A and B are shown apart, each in its own frame.
Chain A
């Protein structure tokens, strides 16, 4: 396939523009400035909403992963993270998710 490069270059330019706009808008503000705190809250909430959607109603190919596998992976990941840290949580969560998706009951 011979792709059209224009959309990629336009999207890359707009993305860089958004990043630069954010840096220039806030570079002289203090970290506890209300605008900075608002932006941090919006960014944090966006990531939380992204995770909720990806777990409950994932788009595209991810929807083929059984819900029980997603929940099992999340719960085991959280438990392992609480006990042993982030990396252990990620490894344990993905291992359980893979096993349940392969061998678990698919309701």
Chain B
């Protein structure tokens, strides 16, 4: 995740965006696909694209909320893919009262780390070696691929992973943000039915 934010900071610098815009985007949007859409697409289409790209916040929040208790809304700004993926492996095993403080700690560290590394990326954009570019571009993908690889051995998570992988071609036939949302809906719903049979 840090490498992705590093790359976002560098991309903002290269696009000529000011530091405060880059930082506000990291802290308040805090969802990399949406951030990239906002950077590349101006105006209302950018807002719609970013919202669709980050629509996964809704199912992420629904899945996490039962572990956060009645004051879970405090943690809402920190719900994003990386802390969610880590939290869903830990919070189900915690004492019910510890879910919220645990997620707040994890989420705020992840949130702060993202903004800090984006600042570094913005500062060193011009001096990043060319050889480091592929690693920066694929760090986030590889991180999630490894998490998914680990999920394949967990029976509770396996159907959703396989469903999403099989539904990925749907996303390739549609505009990226909308396609990903639809692939998740189709693959996830199919996995849910599979588990209920």
Binding site for B on A (CB under 8 A): 1-5, 7-12, 14-16, 18-31, 33-62, 65, 69-70, 73-74, 77-78, 81, 86, 89-90, 93-94, 97-98, 101-102
**B178 at interface by CB-CB < 8 Å:** no
Q: Do A36 and B142 touch (CB < 8 A)?
A: no
Minimum CB–CB distance from A61 to chain B (whole Å) comes to 6
Query: Which residue of chain A has its CB nearest to the CB of B24?
Result: A8
Our pick among B50, B76, B146 for the contact of A11 (Cβ within 8 Å) is B50
Binding site for A on B (CB under 8 A): 3, 15-18, 21, 24-25, 28-31, 33-34, 36, 38, 42-44, 46-47, 50-51, 54-70, 72-73, 75-77, 79, 81, 84-85, 88, 92, 131-135, 137-151, 157, 159-165, 167-168, 170-172, 176, 180-181, 183-189, 191-192, 195-196
Q: Provide the main secondary structure of the chain B interface.
A: helix
Q: Do A24 and B195 touch (CB < 8 A)?
A: no
What are the residues of chain B within 8 A of A4 when measuring CB–CB? 42-43
Q: Do B163 and A45 touch (CB < 8 A)?
A: yes
